[in-house]
Structure formats: C-alpha cells, structure tokens
Amino acid sequence: MTKRSGRDAWLHMDTGLLSSSRAVLASGDGASAEIPGLLTFMASQPTEALLFDLN
C-alpha cells in the first residue's frame, strides 16, 4: 500500500505474524503510519489483518 500525504494508516493484526523494516507484529498488535510512502509487510505464516486508511 502507498500511504498518501495528509492521510494516516492503522494496521490491526487478527492472527499470524507480519514483519516490516521497523517491527514484527503478532495477533492483537496494532501499528500506525503517518509518514507518506510505501508500506511493505511480509507474512511468515498465514495471517489475517485489517488495514484502515484514515483521514
């Protein structure tokens, strides 16, 4: 996903594991992004997550 300027993003983990260049997220974790740019995650097992694009 590419996060646009003026918008925020929130990722909430349901199940599984996701990693990025900054963090590893597990079930129940959440993360926000406020800086514009490309958001890249890698799943190391079957994963379900919700990504919210916020104003």
Is-above-0.95 flag for pTM? no
How many residues comprise the chain?
A: 55
Number of domains present in the structure of the chain = 1
Closest CA to 31 of 4, 17, 6: 17
Amino acid in position 31? A
Domain that holds residue 24: 2-54
Bridge partners (DSSP) of residue 33 are: 9
**pLDDT (0 to 100) of residue 1:** 61
**CA dihedral of 48, 26, 43, 37, whole degrees rounded to 10:** 90
Rg (CA), the chain: 11
* Per-residue model confidence as pLDDT tens digits over 3-44: 677 788 899 999 999 998 888 999 999 998 877 788 889 999
